[in-house]
Chain A
């Protein structure tokens, strides 16, 4: 249950190699801010021909297809496909509760964020990342290109947990600053006394493609507590006096499943991707199978 004292190096080089072959999958292609590698719905200025259209006054003369004009004596504008980038919004819940678990939930969140960020940067996407809690917000300016990987990783490694969770407020604050649509991924344990629904709602309304990564520690999934205990909440400091019994553990199990299902149900009903994983799950498998299966990467 104790938080890990040091964060291991985020990702191994071999794993990074595998990530190179992956790319973010956005079902709805979102317009980006910068020209990027991603084919845009808009017609743009890339070298790939897209279509013709009639010339109208004011069009750039450089785009007139003079060969067509010589044959048909009509002015046609040659249209090219627009290449745009995609913004990956990584929102990490850095509240006190994320510190728990072995390995801690925050470590898992960091590694996942690093993996997704790496895939995005390798695919010339923009990555915007922020770790938040009631304690404060940790962020860097959005980065782009493989050259930013070091910057991204060092930020991720430096994320510290602390403070209460308020997912809705955190999401709200982030969306105020980052209006670009894209793929939004929230990595959290959803232990928010004020409820998780608001945060999901806000992210959906931002018209980004939203994914929820529900990280729970193995101690939370299968508690090994015995005896008469005074359980103290790491964030709110409220306590629950429990005498462990089979009935209580059974009840906890039922409530845990109910909690996970309620989050899953809420997300899927709103077209939000939902993945629940344990903090001790092997990262490679998680990324390869769970995220790929969840339609986040390909």
Chain B
């Protein structure tokens, strides 16, 4: 009985006050102050009493309204103290962190009424705020490319609602890392900070398409994942690039990668525009739930803004277009320090030679002295005493750098790991490359191991401050790598990796990532006009580059910097965001959580109702007592 009572009370210790009930009865029976009345004879009364009590031993009690009411009041009061609760829609706990995804995929239209997922998520969040109990606190965090605390922990409903309503959609990817780190710092299990929120509950309102999910070591049980959205009807442009056509001179190719998130084939047309004039139309058939590539052949336009548009009325519009800036090729000065007759020199010259914007100079190691003016210096089997300005690549050579320790030579190391997220290794699959021998080396902390074998890197990014350094731990001619396709691509990546004097050289920037601006000729002011027409001015210091972070909108950003005018393309180009099919599970580093679309269940306490009833009964009892109405 007690266990059953305890199962729906929050403060069951107060249930011990139930012993007041028998006490009341005993007091009532013992201390009932009866008015004495002398009557002629008790004969008939005695008989009546006997008759009544013969029927039921508790008749006297049952018929005694006042006692019953008092017992009822005590019962209600004790139960009110024990804080009974009922399972209701809403939240459980008393501290909540509402995490609302406002990335590009949350702009997907859902249902007949065409509400976006973000609107649905906001509605749900407002509903949850409505269900907050007195004393509950909540905070609101929105996240897309970055997380933002819209409202810190508060019990002010008005502020919470305002914060939720202020969340605007972003055309960016969704990264949850910041949110998770913040949640971990608030979490009751955090060993570093004594938590003031022992019952913090993280409520994630998202469609589950989160880019950096697998990197996160969050514990899944901290998160309640409310899945928003159902539809999957969307196709989008996820990659756009232009290159010279190898076979046809003077012709260029624009490669468009399209992703179809729908479970059926989508047939539509893809149009290529240059400065808003259509220059090509392709019929495309998009394979279900996969990638489709389309190539446009066109002349080299030298300069302009290229745009592709998918002619499709799907549920997510933001990924139907992509932009790309075409700029006259900017020359990158590369110095190759190598034995001019070696095979390495041959392979490198050949690989670098096809890259259109490379201006290659060559120098033998013996003739090398520190020369300024090169963007990239490639050292083959030789490391200078003084590191050169700009970026540098060391092939089978190790510069004097703190923490960089070359070791023994190992034979035929297999390639066991490749970090494809690093820009240098992007799009490469060098696993089948055979290496004759390599020098083991240890990298300083903060470096990236780009290609690894057993316990040692083969290629490492050991960049220091603004100086980019790449170490290749083996002689490329002692491997079959130069004969593979991945080698020229690797060199292309290395050249692309080298910082340019102007960001405009990039074809496009991913939305949400900052754009770097460097000062030109001491011109300290530049203005940026976003696709929605809003212009902002920023001051560029001559010594340091400036990062412009307001790239939440996709489209062409017009920049005017002094005399020069140019455009920067900002694209979503994310498979995760174009794949709008909501995820039923979230796989974190340390566990998987199931999505729920049902309203969250929570407890709603109803002790105030019990107190109210008790007060009403108390009034009623007093009225009965004063009136003796029914007895």
> A230 contacts which chain B residues (CB < 8 A)?
34-37
Quote the shortest CB–CB distance from A266 to chain B (angstroms): 16
**Within 8 Å of chain B (Cβ to Cβ): is A228?**
yes
Question: Are A227's CB and B48's CB within 8 A?
Answer: no
Question: Are A100's CB and B35's CB within 8 A?
Answer: no
Residue of B42, B59, B64, B631 near A231 (CB, 8 A) is B42
> A61 contacts which chain B residues (CB < 8 A)?
none
In the complex, residue of chain A having the shortest beta-carbon distance to the beta carbon of B52: A251
Residue of B32, B37, B42, B51 near A238 (CB, 8 A) is B42
Residue interface mask B30-69, A partner, CB < 8 A = 1: 0011111111111111111101100000011001100000
Known: A217-B40, A233-B42, A259-B44. Is A245-B49 also a contact (CB below 8 A)? Answer: no
A97-130, CB < 8 A from B: 97-101, 105
Question: Are A189's CB and B631's CB within 8 A?
Answer: no
**Within 8 Å of chain B (Cβ to Cβ): is A235?**
yes
Question: Are B45's CB and A252's CB within 8 A?
Answer: yes
In the complex, residue of chain B having the shortest beta-carbon distance to the beta carbon of A247: B63
Q: Which of B33, B41, B51 has the most CB of A within 10 A?
A: B41
Residue of A217, A226, A251, A256 near B628 (CB, 8 A) is A226
Known: A252-B44, A252-B48, A256-B44. Is A1-B37 also a contact (CB below 8 A)? Answer: yes
A219→B44 CA distance, assembly (Å): 13
Question: Are A227's CB and B631's CB within 8 A?
Answer: yes
A232→B45 CA distance, assembly (Å): 10
Question: Are B41's CB and A234's CB within 8 A?
Answer: yes
Quote the shortest CB–CB distance from A229 to chain B (angstroms): 5
A225→B41 CA distance, assembly (Å): 14
> A101 contacts which chain B residues (CB < 8 A)?
40
**Within 8 Å of chain B (Cβ to Cβ): is A246?**
yes
Question: Are A229's CB and B42's CB within 8 A?
Answer: no
Closest 3 CB pairs of A and B: A191-B41, A97-B40, A100-B40
**Within 8 Å of chain B (Cβ to Cβ): is A60?**
no
A136→B197 CA distance, assembly (Å): 90
Question: Are B38's CB and A1's CB within 8 A?
Answer: yes
Question: Are A247's CB and B59's CB within 8 A?
Answer: yes
Q: Given contacts A217-B40, A233-B42, could you give 19 more A-B pairs where the C-beta distance is less than 8 Å?
A: A1-B40, A98-B40, A99-B40, A100-B40, A105-B40, A230-B34, A230-B35, A231-B38, A232-B42, A233-B39, A234-B38, A234-B41, A235-B41, A238-B46, A239-B42, A243-B60, A248-B48, A248-B63, A251-B48
Known: A243-B63, A243-B64. Is A227-B35 also a contact (CB below 8 A)? Answer: yes
In the complex, residue of chain B having the shortest beta-carbon distance to the beta carbon of A251: B48
**Within 8 Å of chain A (Cβ to Cβ): is B16?**
no
**Within 8 Å of chain A (Cβ to Cβ): is B630?**
yes
A-side binding surface: helix, strand, loop or mixed?
A: mixed
Quote the shortest CB–CB distance from B438 to chain A (angstroms): 103
Question: Are B631's CB and A233's CB within 8 A?
Answer: no
Question: Are B40's CB and A189's CB within 8 A?
Answer: yes
B600-631, CB < 8 A from A: 628, 630-631
Known: A227-B628, A228-B33, A243-B64. Is A255-B48 also a contact (CB below 8 A)? Answer: yes
> B38 contacts which chain A residues (CB < 8 A)?
1, 231-234
Interface residues, chain B, with chain A CB atoms under 8 Å away? 32-49, 51-52, 59-60, 63-64, 628, 630-631
Question: Are B45's CB and A231's CB within 8 A?
Answer: yes
In the complex, residue of chain B having the shortest beta-carbon distance to the beta carbon of A165: B41
> A191 contacts which chain B residues (CB < 8 A)?
40-41, 43
A226→B64 CA distance, assembly (Å): 12
A182-197, CB < 8 A from B: 189, 191, 193
Question: Are B51's CB and A240's CB within 8 A?
Answer: no
A-B contact pairs, 13 of them (CB 8 A): A1-B39, A96-B40, A227-B34, A228-B34, A228-B35, A231-B37, A232-B39, A233-B38, A233-B40, A235-B41, A242-B45, A248-B49, A256-B44
Question: Are A232's CB and B36's CB within 8 A?
Answer: yes
Interface residues on A, range: 35 or more
Residue of A225, A238, A248, A259 near B52 (CB, 8 A) is A248
> B631 contacts which chain A residues (CB < 8 A)?
226-227, 243-246
**Within 8 Å of chain B (Cβ to Cβ): is A241?**
yes
**Within 8 Å of chain B (Cβ to Cβ): is A157?**
no
**Within 8 Å of chain B (Cβ to Cβ): is A220?**
yes
> A248 contacts which chain B residues (CB < 8 A)?
48-49, 52, 63
A228→B64 CA distance, assembly (Å): 10
Quote the shortest CB–CB distance from A28 to chain B (angstroms): 34
Question: Are A229's CB and B44's CB within 8 A?
Answer: no
Question: Are A255's CB and B51's CB within 8 A?
Answer: yes
Residue of B33, B36, B40, B46 near A234 (CB, 8 A) is B40
A242→B52 CA distance, assembly (Å): 11
Residue of B37, B40, B44, B52 near A247 (CB, 8 A) is B52
Q: Which of A219, A236, A239 has the most CB of B within 10 A?
A: A239
A217→B33 CA distance, assembly (Å): 27
Residue of B32, B40, B46 near A228 (CB, 8 A) is B32
A234→B43 CA distance, assembly (Å): 11
Known: A243-B631, A245-B631, A256-B44. Is A100-B39 also a contact (CB below 8 A)? Answer: yes
In the complex, residue of chain A having the shortest beta-carbon distance to the beta carbon of B64: A243
Question: Are B37's CB and A229's CB within 8 A?
Answer: yes
Question: Are B52's CB and A97's CB within 8 A?
Answer: no
In the complex, residue of chain B having the shortest beta-carbon distance to the beta carbon of A230: B34
Quote the shortest CB–CB distance from B51 to chain A (angstroms): 5
Quote the shortest CB–CB distance from A278 to chain B (angstroms): 13
Quote the shortest CB–CB distance from A196 to chain B (angstroms): 11
Question: Are B49's CB and A233's CB within 8 A?
Answer: no
Residue of B37, B43, B63, B64 near A225 (CB, 8 A) is B37
> B40 contacts which chain A residues (CB < 8 A)?
1, 96-101, 105, 189, 191, 217, 220, 233-235
Question: Are B49's CB and A240's CB within 8 A?
Answer: yes
A191→B39 CA distance, assembly (Å): 12
Quote the shortest CB–CB distance from B58 to chain A (angstroms): 12
Known: A230-B37, A245-B631. Is A240-B42 also a contact (CB below 8 A)? Answer: yes
Quote the shortest CB–CB distance from A186 to chain B (angstroms): 17
Known: A243-B60, A245-B63, A245-B631. Is A229-B34 also a contact (CB below 8 A)? Answer: yes
Known: A243-B60, A243-B64, A247-B63. Is A97-B41 also a contact (CB below 8 A)? Answer: yes
A256→B45 CA distance, assembly (Å): 9
A256→B59 CA distance, assembly (Å): 21
In the complex, residue of chain A having the shortest beta-carbon distance to the beta carbon of B628: A226
Known: A228-B34, A228-B35. Is A246-B52 also a contact (CB below 8 A)? Answer: no
A252→B43 CA distance, assembly (Å): 10
Known: A247-B52, A248-B48. Is A241-B34 also a contact (CB below 8 A)? Answer: yes
A242→B37 CA distance, assembly (Å): 11
Quote the shortest CB–CB distance from A185 to chain B (angstroms): 21
> B39 contacts which chain A residues (CB < 8 A)?
1, 100, 219-220, 231-234
Quote the shortest CB–CB distance from A236 to chain B (angstroms): 8
Known: A1-B39, A227-B628. Is A251-B51 also a contact (CB below 8 A)? Answer: yes
